[in-house]
Amino acid sequence: MRDAFFEALAELARHDERVWALTGDLGINLFDPIEQAAPGRVLNVGIAEQNLVGVAAGLAYAGRLPFAYSIAPFVTSRPHDQVRVDVAMANAPVTLVGVGGGLAYGYLGPTHHAIEDLGIMRALPNMTVLAPADPAEVRRATRAAFAADGPVYLRLGKNGEPDVLPGDASFVLGRATRLRDGDDVTLVSTGAILGHVVAAADLLAARGVAATVLHYGTLKPFDAEAVVAAAARTGAVVTVEEHSIIGGLGSATAEALAEAGAGAPVRRVGVPDAFVSAVGSQEHLLAHLGLDADGIVATTLALLRERRPTRSLR
């Protein structure tokens, strides 16, 4: 994902002199292609994330289109006052890019885990929130952020994520992508966890459970219509996110269903209301928290047994 972002940003900078790239002393070598494409339009402000956001806001006020890049908690939590006042309140066209979303920096512990970033950014007025699923969608999301009117938070994984979405998939702000159609349950996800969700849908199919799979590359604005329609058909919804179950995708989904009077039960698969003190790889932590394919299947089957206790589920 990270490499896909830099490739897309270098291409944008090459063709539009308004594009600037900023970093908080992170991934310095990754900016070389942008510096080559747009000499003088790469700034390293050092380990000073409040300054990173402030400088990006100043560039935006001067008619530029800055992309400010750092580890996800360091570009959302640490400079939150600057994001809120200088960017969101001003409706400034700043794209904040958070790398290592979720538990990607598993070994570095809870200071580097991004488990509340989507909720923080989603709550800010004027802020668009993007969480693409794979490298190809990162390229499309980067171009969408460039074209957006106002501030954007773009959440990335790290690197090495597999391609999950169809090669010809479109990216439309505020639209969910439906990958599977099924009548038994709706699986809803956002971000790089999609690969685990698709794997879970395959495991469920082997047990005779047909799942609709919805992916939200845009978390805000939220496509309420898509999940309400899916819930009406399947009667049960499981949300999956590499994020706290509070404030992110699960909350957005529950709000949409409640406001529509959909009446479908919802189970939120994500990080519980606690910091993750366990240490290990991202895959280890996902399994530990029940966020891998097996954990998603277990939660889904438990929900379906509660709803249809007489049905035999293998």
State residue 17's pLDDT score: 96
164 is a domain residue: no
Alpha helix (H) residue ranges in 38-183: 49-61, 72-76, 80-82, 117-122, 135-147
pLDDT digits (tens, 9 = 90+) for 230-288: 999 999 999 999 999 999 999 999 999 999 999 899 999 999 999 999 989 999 999 99
Residue 268, helix vs strand vs coil:
strand
Q: Are residues 206 and 147 in the same domain?
A: no
Given a contact cutoff of 8 angstroms between Cβ atoms, the answer to whether 59 and 45 are in contact is no
**Pairwise CA distance, residues 271 & 308, whole Å:** 27
Shared domain for 142 and 11, answered yes or no, is yes
Burial label, 254 (beta-carbon count in 10 A; 0-12, 13-18, 19+): middle
Show pLDDT as tens, one digit a residue, over the chain (314 residues). Answer: 999 999 999 999 999 999 999 999 988 889 999 999 999 999 999 999 999 999 999 999 999 999 999 999 999 999 999 999 999 999 999 999 999 999 999 999 999 999 999 999 999 999 999 999 999 999 999 999 999 999 999 999 988 888 999 878 889 999 999 999 999 999 999 999 999 999 999 999 999 999 999 999 999 999 999 999 999 999 999 999 999 999 999 999 999 999 999 989 999 999 999 999 998 999 999 999 999 999 999 999 999 999 876 555 66
For the chain, how many structural domains are there in total?
A: 2
> Are 142 and 8 members of one domain?
yes
Residues 13 and 146 in one domain: yes
Q: Which of 72, 16, 68 is closest to 44 using CA atoms?
A: 68
Structural domain contains residue 218: yes
Q: Is residue 220 part of a domain?
A: yes
pLDDT of residue 28: 81
Residue 167 lies in a domain: no
Pairing between strand 211-215 and 177-180? antiparallel
Query: CA dihedral defined by 165, 167, 170, 176, rounded to 10 degrees?
Result: -10
End-to-end CA distance of the chain: 36
The pLDDT value recorded for residue 234 is 97
pLDDT attached to residue 314: 60
Specify if 144 maps to a domain: yes
Which of 155, 185, 211 terminates a domain? The answer is 155
The token pair that represents 161 in the structure block? 């994520």
170 in a structural domain:
no
| Same domain assignment for residues 70 and 190 | no
Q: What angle do CA 239, 200, 275 make, to 5 degrees?
A: 50
Regarding whether 283 and 190 lie in a shared domain, the answer is yes
Residues 93 and 224 in one domain: no
Question: CB neighbours (10 Å) of residue 300?
Answer: 28
* Whether residues 24 and 151 fall in one domain: yes
Distances (CA, A) of 258 to 82, 169, 234, 244: 33, 29, 16, 20
**What local confidence, expressed as pLDDT, does residue 167 receive?**
79
Check whether residue 144 and residue 218 sit in a common domain.
Answer: no
Residues 256, 117 share a domain: no
What is each CA distance from 106 to 4, 110, 116, 153, in whole angstroms? 22, 8, 15, 22
Strands (E), 123-273: 128-130, 152-155, 177-180, 185-189, 211-215, 218-220, 237-244, 266-271
Residue 116: partners with Cβ closer than 8 Å, 6 or more residues away:
77, 243, 244, 246, 247
Rounded to two decimals, the pTM is 0.95
Identify whether residues 21 and 145 lie together within a single domain. Answer: yes
**What is the per-residue pLDDT for 159?**
80
Instruction: Note the pLDDT of residue 312.
Output: 56
- Asked if residue 165 belongs to a domain, the reply is no
> Are 130 and 262 in the same domain?
no
Q: Which domain holds residue 209?
A: 177-307
Q: Is residue 313 part of a domain?
A: no
Residue 184: CATH number of its domain: 3.40.50.920
CATH of the domain at 133: 3.40.50.970
